[in-house]
């Protein structure tokens, strides 16, 4: 297993080591028709260290990066790490009051964001140093002066590169990743420098096989840890290229990015996979021939969708699962080993156990093969805990182990099958129902594009309601046909008692279906 020296900094591991290897002239970033080499990213990174020092930012203080996918994200990210400070990341489309709450929660010592977000935050930034990066479309200049004294590019041009950056310990705090907030306000999982390097070695390099000639494009945005890994850290770790676009990742824009950049690796989510197939069927130009693989995570990948994808594009999809608590993917399908519907096998370096729901620690006996239980994960990328929340930390982190809260079963061949969140199982007529299992079954119907199943209260009893988006208009006859479809394929009691047809399903800022926003009345 990989080990790291006592003195260790992620900015060196991901960026400055490439210069030492002689790769400084390689293209590190692309944005539209512009390119930045590793040398150029490193120069801007060291200049940003100088700006942080001038702003009074100390080691281990938090720098909140709230940017779209533009190149300055990279030097703000690596500069914060090189300075010994801590990276926290946010979505610039988040309501200002929610961003302000995070600034207060983490005690941000500096904020890097757009002029519009800075203006919307107003008084929340009165005592906080701010650096602004103008909004830029992909063919705009992302380093254009903002005409603002806080303009990051203007300040960088006037700042000398730092020459005496501090040593950091491998276990010093480096990056705080936020949970998706499915059960309340998001929590910050506190990670050390070596956490990210460990996962990069065993997953990105050892399991997926990122290469120096890869060009990476992502559907999820960089502020989301899934994409921070796959479309910034992982390509930089091997001297590859991260190709960015700042616009909303519509099917048309994603297809454009793959073709324009000649992408070889696409970080994807099932929702966009389905939309790319729809756009292709409707006559849009969706040419994915340059891809050698696509990743999928963030939500369940129905086997029927994977089959449609392979039939049309023939691009391998490596579906996996990770978490803010473990940084990135620890369980995945992989090159030459894809079992549709499963989440594959553990990444080497991680130990996984499926334990009874009431297990209080990792020493409990596992459930029998084929039975459902809660997934526990052990690995060197586990977070220290949640910032300012010891109760939640005690419930989740148990030394080297993390209780994921996800329900899984393991088949006879050692492949893991996701069965939903432990806190989202529904008890219907005295029997437990996994919404994910019902959703996957509905997705196998040729008319269904996507589905979400929730519980609704009917006179004190829980019933299941399926929200379904279909290719043809829905009516009572189709609703009955879908119910019958589930009855014939799953235990009869699992069929959805109500079927509601929708034009779209609500999503959160990670692109996942937001079941909290679905009506229960």
Interhelix angle 251-261/270-281, rounded to 10 degrees, is 90
**What is the maximum alpha-carbon separation in the chain?**
72
pLDDT at 44 over 90: yes
Q: What would the pLDDT profile of 166-196 be if each residue is shown by its tens digit? A: 899 999 999 999 986 544 578 999 999 999 9
* Alpha carbons 89 and 78: distance in angstroms, whole number: 13
Q: Give the domain 425-517 fold.
A: GMP Synthetase; Chain A, domain 3 (3.30.300)
Over residues 399-419, the mean pLDDT reads 94
DSSP-based three-state secondary structure for 192: strand
Which distant-in-sequence residues (6+ apart) come within 8 Å of 191 by Cβ?
173, 174, 175, 176, 177, 327, 381, 383, 384
DSSP secondary structure of 214-277? -EEEESS-TTSHHHHIIIIIHHHHHT-EEEE--S---HHHHHHHHHHHT-SEEEE-HHHHHHHH
How does pLDDT run across 109-159, given as a tens digit for each residue? 999 999 999 999 999 999 999 999 998 999 999 999 988 999 999 999 999
Is residue 256 predicted with pLDDT exceeding 90? yes
* pLDDT for 508 beyond 50: yes
Say how many C-beta atoms besides its own lie within 10 A of residue 499's C-beta. 24
Tell me, what's the pLDDT at 451? 94
Q: What is the DSSP string of 93-130?
A: TS-HHHHHHHHHHHT-SEEEE-HHHHHHHGGGGTTS-E
pLDDT of residue 182: 45
DSSP string, 332-384: E-BTTB--TTS--EEPTT-EEEEE-TT--STTSPPPPTT--EEEEEE-TT--S
Q: Which residue has the higher pLDDT, 422 or 499?
A: 499
Q: CA–CA separation, 352 vs 472, rounded Å?
A: 42
Domain ranges for the chain, please list them.
Answer: 10-349, 425-517
Per CATH, 10-349 and 425-517 having the same topology is answered no
Q: Is the model's pLDDT at 63 over the cut of 70? A: yes
Query: In this structure, are strands 426-428 and 416-421 parallel, antiparallel, or unpaired?
Result: unpaired
Q: Across all residues in the chain, what is the average pLDDT?
A: 94
Contact 322, 207 (CB under 8 A): no
**Ranges 223-232, 272-281, 421-430, 483-492: which has the least confidence:** 421-430
d(CA 169, CA 5): 8
For Cα atoms 47, 118, 225, give the angle at the middle one, nearest 5 degrees. 65
What pLDDT is stored for residue 180 in this prediction?
A: 63
CA distance 393 to 384: 8
pLDDT at 283 (0 to 100): 95
Superfamily of domain 10-349: ANL, N-terminal domain (3.40.50.12780)
- In the predicted model, is pLDDT for residue 441 greater than 80? yes
Picking from 77-81, 323-327, 403-407, 509-513, which range would have the lowest pLDDT averaged per residue? 509-513
The mean pLDDT value for 431-440 works out to 86
Q: What is the mean pLDDT of residues 234-240?
A: 98
Range with the poorest average pLDDT among 60-74, 351-365, 457-471: 457-471
Region of poorest pLDDT, from 120-134, 216-230, 422-436: 422-436
Q: Rounded CA gap, 68 and 235, in Å?
A: 19
Q: Which string of DSSP letters, residue by residue, matches 486-513?
A: HHHHS-GGGS-SEEEE-S---B-TTS-B
CA angle at residue 272 from 266 to 277, to 5 degrees? 100
CB 495 within 8 A of CB 479: no
Query: How far apart are the C-alpha atoms of 160 and 43, rounded to whole Å?
Result: 9
Whole-angstrom Cα distance, residue 89 to residue 111?
10
């Amino acid at each position: 297993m990989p080990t790291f020296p006592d003195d260790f900094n992620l900015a060196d591991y991901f960026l400055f080591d490439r210069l030492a290897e002689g790769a400084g002239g390689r293209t590190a970033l692309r944005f539209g028709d512009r390119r930045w080499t590793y040398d150029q990213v490193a120069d801007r990174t060291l200049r940003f260290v100088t700006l942080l020092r001038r702003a009074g930012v100390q080691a281990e203080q938090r720098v909140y990066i709230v940017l779209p996918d533009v190149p300055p994200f990279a030097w703000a990210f690596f500069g914060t790490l090189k300075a010994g400070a801590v990276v926290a990341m946010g979505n610039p489309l988040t309501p200002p009051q929610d961003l302000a709450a995070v600034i207060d929660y983490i005690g941000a010592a500096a904020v890097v964001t757009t002029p519009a977000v800075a203006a919307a935050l107003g008084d929340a930034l009165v005592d906080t140093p701010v650096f602004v990066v103008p909004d830029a479309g992909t063919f705009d200049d992302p380093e254009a002066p903002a005409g603002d004294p806080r303009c990051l590019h203007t300040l960088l041009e006037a700042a000398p590169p730092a020459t005496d950056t501090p040593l950091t310990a491998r276990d010093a705090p480096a990056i705080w990743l936020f949970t998706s907030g499915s059960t309340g306000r998001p929590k910050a999982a506190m990670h050390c420098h070596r956490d990210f390097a460990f996962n990069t070695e065993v997953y990105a390099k050892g399991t997926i096989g990122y290469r120096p000639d890869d060009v990476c494009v992502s559907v999820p945005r960089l502020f989301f840890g899934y994409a921070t890994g796959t479309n910034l850290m992982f390509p930089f770790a091997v001297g590859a290229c991260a190709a960015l676009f700042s616009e909303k990742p519509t099917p048309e824009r994603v297809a454009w990015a793959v073709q324009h950049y000649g992408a070889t690796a696409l970080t994807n989510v099932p929702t966009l996979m389905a939309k790319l197939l729809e756009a292709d069927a409707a006559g849009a130009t969706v040419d994915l021939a340059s891809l050698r693989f696509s990743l999928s995570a963030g939500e369940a990948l129905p086997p029927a969708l994977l089959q449609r994808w392979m039939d049309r594009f023939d691009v391998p999809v490596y579906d996996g699962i990770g978490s803010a608590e473990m940084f990135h993917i620890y369980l995945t399908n992989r090159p030459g080993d894809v079992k549709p519907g499963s989440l594959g096998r553990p990444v080497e370096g991680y130990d996984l156990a499926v334990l009874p729901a009431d297990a209080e620690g990792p020493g409990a006996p596992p459930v029998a093969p084929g039975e459902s239980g809660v997934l526990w994960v052990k690995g060197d990328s586990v977070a220290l805990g949640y910032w300012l929340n010891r109760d939640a930390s005690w419930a989740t982190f148990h030394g080297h182990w993390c209780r994921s809260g996800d329900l899984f079963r393991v088949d006879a061949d050692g492949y893991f099958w996701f069965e939903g969140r432990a806190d989202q199982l529904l008890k219907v007529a005295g029997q437990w129902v996994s919404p994910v299992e019902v959703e996957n079954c509905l997705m196998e119907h040729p008319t269904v594009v996507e589905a979400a199943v929730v519980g609704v209260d009917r006179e004190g009893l829980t019933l299941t309601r399926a929200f379904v988006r279909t290719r043809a208009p829905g009516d009572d006859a189709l609703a009955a046909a879908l119910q019958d479809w589930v009855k014939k394929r799953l235990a009869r009691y699992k069929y959805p008692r109500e079927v509601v047809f929708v034009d779209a399903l609500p999503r959160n800022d990670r692109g996942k279906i937001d079941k909290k926003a679905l009506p229960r009345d």
